[in-house]
Chains A and B, each alone.
Chain A
Amino acid sequence: MTMSDLAVTAGWYMALAALLFSIGAIGLLTRRNALVMFMSIELMLNSVNLTFVAVGKELRTLEGQIATLFVMVVAAAEVTIGLAIIVAVFRRRATASVDELSEMKG
């Protein structure tokens, strides 16, 4: 086995990103605490960033890096709004569990 077989290519980064994305998605769907769900979403967005950066490096184009910047800006905006909503819910109900949020029923 030579060194080039062990080189970390973009494929490995993409596999890692896919794994992180899956962990985030599963976390979002199984956990019931709003803050943890929110963290899961951030994990998903970061795996997107990893994909963009790795592919951008591989293809030698700046587009991937630039896309990452945009995703980070959007994630920051989402954090602002999301935390505000979670705090508003917490102040009213003293819980951040989404199971307690079940007043709307058909």
Chain B
Amino acid sequence: MGNIAFLPIGLEVALLVGAIGVLMVAVTMGRSSRDWAVVAGAAIGVGFVISVRQWVVVGESGTQLAFGTKGADGLAVANQMVAMDKFGALGGMILMVVVGLALIGSWQMVKDLGSRGAEFVALILLSAAGMHMMIVSANLIMLFIGLETASIALYVIAGFLRNRRGSDESAMKYFLMGSFASALFIYGVALVFAATGSTSLYGSTSIGQFLAGNAMPNPGILLIGIGLILVGLAFKMSAAPFHQWAPDVYQGAGTGAVAFMSTGVKVAAVAAMVRVLYIGFFQFYDDWSMAVALIAALSILVGTATAIAQSDLKRMLAYSGVAHAGFLLIAVLAARVSLDAMWFYLATYAVSLVGMLTVVTVVAGASAGPVSIESFRGLGKRSPMLAAAIAVFMFSMAGIPGTSGFVAKLVVFTAADLSGFRWLVVLALVASVAGLFFYLRIIVVAFFEDSDTEETPLTLTGPRIAIGFAVAVTVGLGLWPTLLLDFAREALPHL
């Protein structure tokens, strides 16, 4: 035991044990979903505690790398696979909160699935483990493994409701597009390896060390490699022009599953992108920052323009997610001057989106495929609390003052302006105003249009807690943003 450091991979271990535990409980103790909830909740709780512990340990004794090649003295000296730093610790905390909320929101779907529900829960935990692996990986091959662990589980999650048409279509499209993105990503890694002779982000034989020590008069292969890595990650966070799969997948998959797959991947892909670009390829900042800025601009334009035309709420949220991927890419650029802006945007957007999709599961059913915006008519009368929650989440995504979304956009745009991307900030501001249209339309439909039914959606205790928590975070961080910003300021990656 002595020479294996468990803390750096503690969160992954907790989630994997939890996933296996859920399956074992389902096999041995029967199909009571309450038992699975206890195991999964314990795994997520332990994961959160481990992330906090990592934060504390890093604060006391500094960042560290783990799982490297051993030198003569028995200590890891090179090719480390995992970095333990506050970057990964905060990413873990955010992921655990998001996974927990998403699982609570989709629990009705787990119950409806019967005995297969346990597999769904286990897959979500496995996928979350892969996502965190992406955030903490100190090697591009490791990042690929994490990416695939997260993605392959998500393909299955998207197609989980195989009895309903649309779910299989969703899974197929996600699988083909996702595998394509993964292939692009790993080819990019191979080209980077060809150019620099390394896949490590840290240590004496890392990519950064090679680039610092060798002037590259002809960096063509390296630049193609960086570009393909960027494209692969942009695919996963559904940034334009690599977003075509997202609306179909979101619409076809069960709403409960969408809450997790839309937020978790974004958190992981954005954090991984920051680590790879800044730690691995900082010497080529001028080249990749321009590419990131272009993808960001295109995402914002395409996402905003197409979201306006949608009549299906999940498609609308998917296209709004494309626009938010653009804002997040601005945050990646802004990370040069302030990393807290990126974390703030990631955390608040993820929580708002999970909250919103939990409301959708309550109103339209957790297993529903397409959800028309019309189905929210008259919600203000039928269930004022749910309608108010929708208003909070939509205000936050639109960036209305008083919500966390406003502060997130403010800090990101300020930092991006300081990094020299004023044109991008102007574009993003214009798009934010245009975005008001489709966010406010949901609120108008919910409050000012009458519905044919008087049916009040039944809000169970679980979703009620999840929605309440998301509303509290959204409003709370909108009014007291320093609570998270001060915290996130320290969440730097190992250098």
Contacts and interface: CB of A to CB of B under 8 A. Distances in A.
B152 A81 contact: yes
A16 interface: no
A18 B199 CA distance: 19
A89 B169 contact: yes
Interface string B431-471: 00000000000000000000000000000000000000000
B493 interface: no
A78 B179 contact: yes
Interface in A22-64: 24-25, 28, 34, 37-38, 41, 44-45, 47-48, 51-52, 55-56, 59, 61, 63-64
A51 B190 contact: yes
A104 B198 CA distance: 43
Interface string B31-55: 0000000000000000000000000
Contacts of A61: 197
B247 A59 contact: no
B168 A106 contact: no
A55 B306 CA distance: 43
A81 B171 CA distance: 10
A71 B184 CA distance: 12
Contacts of B172: 34, 85-86, 89, 98, 101
A74 B148 contact: yes
B186 A71 contact: yes
A106 B176 contact: no
A12 interface: no
B251 interface: yes
B176 A44 contact: no
Interface string B169-202: 1111101100110111011011101100111000
B190 A48 contact: yes
B155 interface: yes
Contact of B141 (A45, A70, A88): A70
A103 interface: yes
B86 interface: no
A77 interface: yes
Contacts of A51: 187, 190-191, 193-194
Contacts of B162: 88, 92
Interface in B156-172: 156, 159, 162, 165-166, 168-172
Given A41-B179, A63-B193, A64-B193, A103 B169 contact: yes
B171 to A, nearest CB: 5
Nearest to A74: B148
Interface string A60-92: 010110110011001001100110011011001
B187 A78 contact: no
A14 B194 contact: yes
A63 B252 CA distance: 40
B264 to A, nearest CB: 18
B164 to A, nearest CB: 10
A10 B194 CA distance: 9
B144 A41 contact: no
Contacts of A28: 176, 180
A43 B156 CA distance: 23
A68 B156 CA distance: 25
A45 B312 CA distance: 36
B159 A55 contact: no
Contact of A82 (B179, B193, B248, B251): B179
Contact of A74 (B144, B156, B312): B144
A104 B170 contact: yes
Contacts of B187: 21, 44, 47-48, 51
Most chain B CB within a 10 A radius of its CB, from A44, A48, A55: A48
Given A28-B180, A67-B199, A74-B148, A106 B166 contact: no
B168 A88 contact: yes
A70 B145 contact: yes
Contacts of A45: 183, 186
Contact of A70 (B144, B175, B176, B370): B144
Contacts of B189: 48, 67
- Top 4 nearest A-B pairs (CB, nearest first) are A44-B183, A51-B190, A104-B248, A101-B169
Given A85-B168, A88-B168, 8 more contacts: A28-B176, A41-B183, A48-B189, A52-B193, A81-B155, A85-B175, A98-B172, A106-B247
23 contacts: A28-B176, A38-B176, A38-B179, A41-B179, A41-B183, A44-B180, A44-B187, A48-B183, A51-B187, A51-B194, A52-B190, A67-B190, A77-B152, A78-B179, A81-B155, A85-B168, A86-B172, A88-B162, A98-B173, A103-B165, A104-B248, A106-B247, A106-B312
